[in-house]
Chains A and B, each alone.
Chain A
Amino acid sequence: MNRDLALLIGILVSLFAALLLWIFYATLVGDPVARLGPLALEQLPASGVSHPVTAVLLNYRAYDTLLELAVLLVALLGIWSLGPAPSGFRPAGPALTVLANWILPLAILTSGYLLWVGGHAPGGAFQAGALLGSAGVLLRLAGHERAGLPAEAAQRWLVVAGVAVFLMVGLLLAAFGEGFLTYPKAVAKWLILLIETAATLAIGATLAAAYVGGRPPGIRSPCPSSESPSSGNPSSGHARS
């Protein structure tokens, strides 16, 4: 790009930043506004969990989290619609393999811990799911073609699990309870845990599948096999996984 244009854009962006800074300062020194924080902390005993962030995510603003899971799903569908996944890496050498063998069980265990601890301390479905997803990334780097995910059909169920369970709980509550995603106080904790478990699995599977970067290598081929010029090659990927 043209150097003068880059400079001009830099000056304009600086002016914009100065304006934002001034607005931020004026907001800070101005009259304090009503915040949602005290209300959220005050209603915490009724939410079913004792950690405020989890209460906001899964109870007060459950709609937000539901739609966020849907965004994640749509992004993965977009990636899948772009074509099949690139082939996996060659199986790693001994150092990475041993490292993966040590780290993977720990990652899965820590993920379960984070999921459980989210009810009363920092943690929850997002962190646990992210850990599962990075375990999948590690597996893919170590040579597992599908990043530890199951075959295509099971993978599809897994990535919709979060949205599906969330919606199902919401609809059941709307039909028999007090309203869409309004948890009865007695079972709030268990409903939140159920949703979080499904969300953890879905987030982990979605992130790992996004790293794989294409439709899972399934049995069905979208192209007629006679057209494929490389069909004569030995297909080592299936044998490995």
Chain B
Amino acid sequence: MPLLLLLFDTILLTTLIGLAIAAVLSAEPRSAVMLFIAFGLWLSLVWARLGAPDVALAEAAIGAGIGGALMLSAARRKVRRDSGGDPSHEPSGCDASGDPGGDPSSNPDNTAGEEAQ
């Protein structure tokens, strides 16, 4: 195998494992999830290198994309709860079914629009 390619592979894999270690060791939920998303995107890059573009596409879209979005919203809820947000507005159980729209100003989930800007 050409030496250059071996070097390239080594850098790819070192970064991959580095990202995984960082994601696993990060105690702050939000940064852990973001590192996990970065890990998933890097993994899809590695799989494209290994001749698996189908799987790379699926991993980037499903594993890193939707999985990351799911975990990110869970992490936001957790950060909010830990920082003393009022948990009684957490929509769940029968409360929310009577009022699916909720009160926009008091719901803890409602800041996503602001965060996303």
User: CB within 8 A of A236: which of B65, B66, B98, B101?
Assistant: B101
- Asked whether A131 lies within 8 Å of B99 as measured between CB atoms, the reply is no
A211 at interface, CB cutoff 8 A: yes
- Asked whether B62 lies within 8 Å of A89 as measured between CB atoms, the reply is no
CA–CA, A235 to B70, complex, Å?
26
Interface size for chain B: under 10, 10 to 19, 20 to 34, or 35 or more residues? 35 or more
Interface size for chain A: under 10, 10 to 19, 20 to 34, or 35 or more residues? 35 or more
A134 at interface, CB cutoff 8 A: yes
Q: Interface code A87-122, partner B: CB below 8 Å = 1, 0 otherwise?
A: 111111101100000000000000000100000001
- Asked whether A86 lies within 8 Å of B109 as measured between CB atoms, the reply is yes
Which chain B residues lie closer than 8 Å to A240 at the CB level?
Answer: 101
Q: Interface code A200-241, partner B: CB below 8 Å = 1, 0 otherwise?
A: 000000010011011101000111010111110111111110
- Asked whether B95 lies within 8 Å of A229 as measured between CB atoms, the reply is yes
- Asked whether A87 lies within 8 Å of B96 as measured between CB atoms, the reply is yes
Which chain B residues lie closer than 8 Å to A122 at the CB level?
Answer: 53-54, 57
B112 at interface, CB cutoff 8 A: yes
Which chain B residues lie closer than 8 Å to A69 at the CB level?
Answer: none
In the A-B complex, the 9 residue pairs with the smallest Cβ-Cβ separation, listed nearest first, are A237-B101, A228-B98, A87-B102, A130-B61, A217-B100, A223-B94, A92-B113, A86-B91, A122-B53
